[in-house]
Amino acid sequence: MQTITVLEQYAENEPVISSLEQTTFETICRIGFEYDFHLLDSCDAPRHPFIQAMAFCLAVSTQRNLQAQFIKHLPIKANRRFERERKRMQDIVDEVIRARELSPDSKNSEKDLLGYMLNAVSEEGLDFEFKYVDDTPATYDPKSQPFAHLTST
């Protein structure tokens, strides 16, 4: 319903692709991590800092992948910005995880994807490494199955 309300705010000839992207991202975040980026508050809602950072990192990733490895380590403006935006995403992911860990749902592995990741253990009984939980939301690839060997507690 919230999506329809936002889409109704657009003029008849105004492109809505940005809103559809925001709807997709908001849906993933709400269902997978029970986190609201407030992207559907209105058609004029500002882009969340995570979205801004992710858009920048995605835009320059192809170029960075084609560069020689040593260039990525040079102290140049482009590299500093990439690292700043990557850190911004990581800080927001950390904030979402910390909020969950402090919530009454912290031990609920069936709540959503984040709950599952935070409570997963390997067949050997080892806790899931936190760094993977930290990296997954920012690099989610639906084709990968990084948690296939884990079971929920």
Give the pLDDT confidence of 56-115 residue by residue, as tens digits: 998 888 888 888 999 888 899 999 999 999 999 989 988 888 898 899 988 888 888 888
Report the pLDDT value the prediction gives residue 88, as an integer from 0 to 100: 94
Question: Which among 94-103, 109-118, 126-135, 139-148 has the top mean pLDDT?
Answer: 94-103
| pLDDT tens string 14-53 | 555 566 777 788 888 888 888 888 877 776 777 788 888 9
Report the pLDDT value the prediction gives residue 150, as an integer from 0 to 100: 47
Tokens of 71: 């260039």
pTM for the model? 0.68
Q: Which residue has the higher pLDDT, 68 or 142?
A: 68
Give me the DSSP letters along 97-144.
HHHHHTSTTTT-TTSSHHHHHHHEEETTSPBPPHHHHHHHHHH--TT-
Report the pLDDT value the prediction gives residue 141, as an integer from 0 to 100: 44
Report the pLDDT value the prediction gives residue 143, as an integer from 0 to 100: 44
Domain ranges within the chain, ordered by starting residue: 1-46
Report the pLDDT value the prediction gives residue 26, as an integer from 0 to 100: 82
Task: Say how many Å lie between the first and final Cα of the chain, rounded.
Answer: 34
Report the pLDDT value the prediction gives residue 91, as an integer from 0 to 100: 92
Report the pLDDT value the prediction gives residue 22, as an integer from 0 to 100: 75
pLDDT-derived band at 144 (thresholds 50, 70, 90) equals: very low
